[in-house]
């Protein structure tokens, strides 16, 4: 085969064969195919797309480019849950312990923050002592012991995706639907999951800006699951404002803990409950939605979900006392209110700008080598549909470097639109595909 022929074929919008796709992935992963030819093919895919068969073959080839995790040692049905990214999305940290407290099994390999989107590993590592670099043996042992473990992906997992993503990032091809779907699903497949629940976001704080594009991506990933023999279900959910109120690593852990303690209500808790219901159904712990809802509410009310989080934290080297005393989490030196300049109703938010504002404070990475400050971020005081008066706080910044505070505050003010009338509420869950 010649790479130039494969590039030309895709430029002409013709479908690539299984053999061509696998030859490309193998050659690029081994270094035999240079970046400039891989970039040409990626750009051709961006313009011409891929059909279902091509996308499924690309996903499988990428998944098999490195280590394939074997979860057969787990004593039960493992359900993997993945979010397509967003702002203040702390669902994994609360949903895992809830499902485990109900008798389910959650073996989760998570990632780090990207652009305005926070990463579960960064959040968990704000807990003093918490380790995300467990061996596979210890990972499986932990799941068998307490029903839940959340660790980082190994460098041996899906190297082809890591190489292709870096290439897409610098060639403006990140937003290719088949490449997004293959990237997400290759990691899920290589991670050993046979039951996969996807939370596909849409809106100003998501990579998919419309509900229609999010549904197309969700449908594509469900089809990949079908092609590769994985039981896959997808929820399309709203990310037109931060999902929770906390944006920042230790702050988001605190919010998850307070939800498990029964202290907070709202969209974040509602979506956590919804995700847990689907995970319990897929994991065959509960045979009906009503039964799953009862189980979830029971473990929240009796405190067993919080105890499960404590157990997981302790087993992964962290200090479980943070669940009883959140001040043991990293604390910022100063709090600064971001006040509204006008009165009215909160009509919209640019959630990505709020995520970037937190990153400016040190909660995220502006460059890949940046070191995250786990204590900083912001706590939103208002949500879409709330009324606000001039001079009333929209958010509170948690700051260690005051020099960055004014730019972060201005970004939040600009990100929040205040109108005259109360906006119509939107559905948190737009659709479910399976």
Q: What six digits make up the tokens of 147?
A: 């029903």
Burial of residue 422, with CB atoms counted within 10 A of its CB: 0-12 exposed, 13-18 middle, 19 or more buried: middle
334-350 per-residue burial string, b: 16 or more CB within 10 A, e: under 16: eebebbbeeebbbebbb
Whether 197 contacts 79, CB under 8 Å: yes
The number of angstroms, rounded, from the C-alpha of 415 to the middle of its chain's C-alpha atoms is: 22
Q: Give the separation between CA 146 and CA 139, rounded to whole angstroms.
A: 11
Instruction: For residue 110, give the 3-state DSSP assignment.
Output: strand
Tokens read off for 278? 């689907």
Closest by CA position to 141, among listed 319, 312, 322: 312
Catalytic residues: 82, 161, 168, 183, 187
Structural contact between residues 44 and 7, judged by C-beta atoms closer than 8 angstroms: yes
What does the block give as tokens for 208? 């998919």
**Could you tell me which of 330, 331, 309 has the C-alpha nearest to residue 260?**
309
**How far apart are alpha carbons 143 and 73 in whole angstroms?**
10
Residues 6+ apart with CB under 8 A from 141: none
| Residue 206 to residues 40, 49, 145, 316, Cα–Cα distance (Å) | 27, 21, 35, 30
Query: For 125-140, what is the HEC assignment?
Result: CCCCCCCCCCCHHHHH
Q: Are 359 and 122 in contact (CB under 8 A)?
A: no
What tokens appear for 197 in the block? 């629940």
Q: How many Cβ atoms sit within 10 Å of the Cβ of residue 361?
A: 27
Distance of CA 256 to the CA centre of its chain: 15
């Amino acid at each position: 085969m010649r790479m130039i022929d494969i590039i030309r074929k895709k430029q002409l919008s013709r479908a690539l064969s299984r053999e061509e796709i696998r030859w490309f992935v193998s050659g690029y992963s081994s270094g035999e195919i240079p970046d400039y030819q891989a970039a040409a093919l990626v750009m051709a895919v961006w313009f011409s797309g891929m059909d279902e068969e091509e996308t499924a073959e690309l996903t499988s080839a990428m998944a098999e480019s490195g280590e394939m995790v074997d979860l057969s040692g787990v004593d039960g049905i493992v359900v993997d849950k993945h979010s397509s990214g967003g702002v203040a999305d702390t669902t994994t940290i609360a949903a895992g312990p809830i499902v485990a407290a109900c008798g389910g099994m959650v073996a989760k390999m998570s990632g780090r923050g990207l652009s305005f989107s926070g990463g579960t590993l960064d959040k968990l590592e704000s807990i003093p002592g918490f380790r995300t670099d467990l061996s596979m043996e210890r990972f499986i042992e932990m799941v068998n012991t307490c029903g839940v473990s959340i660790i980082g992906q190994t460098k041996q997992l899906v190297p082809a995706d890591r190489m292709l993503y870096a290439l897409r990032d610098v060639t403006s091809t990140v937003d290719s639907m088949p490449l997004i779907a293959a990237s997400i699903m290759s990691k899920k497949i290589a991670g050993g999951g046979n039951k996969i629940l996807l939370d596909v976001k849409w809106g100003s704080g998501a990579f998919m800006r419309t509900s229609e594009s999010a549904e197309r991506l969700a449908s594509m990933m469900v089809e990949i699951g079908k092609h590769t023999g994985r039981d896959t279900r997808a929820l399309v959910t709203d990310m037109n404002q931060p999902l929770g109120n906390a944006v920042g690593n230790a702050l988001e852990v605190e919010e998850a803990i307070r939800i498990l303690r029964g202290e907070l209500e709202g969209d974040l808790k509602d979506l956590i409950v919804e995700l847990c219901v689907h995970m319990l159904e897929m994991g065959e712990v509960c045979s009906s939605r009503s039964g799953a809802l009862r189980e979830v509410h029971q473990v929240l009310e009796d405190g067993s979900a919080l105890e499960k989080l404590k157990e997981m934290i302790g087993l992964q080297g962290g200090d479980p006392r943070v669940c009883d005393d959140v001040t043991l989490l990293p604390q910022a030196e100063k709090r600064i209110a971001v006040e509204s300049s006008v009165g009215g109703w909160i009509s919209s938010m640019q959630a990505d700008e709020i995520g970037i504002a937190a990153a400016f404070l040190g909660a995220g990475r502006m460059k890949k080598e940046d070191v995250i400050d786990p204590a900083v971020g912001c706590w939103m005081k208002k949500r879409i549909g709330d009324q606000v008066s001039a001079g009333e706080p929209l958010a509170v910044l948690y700051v260690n470097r005051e020099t960055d505070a004014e730019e972060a505050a201005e970004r939040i003010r600009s990100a929040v639109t205040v109108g005259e009338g109360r906006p119509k509420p939107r559905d948190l869950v737009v659709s479910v595909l399976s």
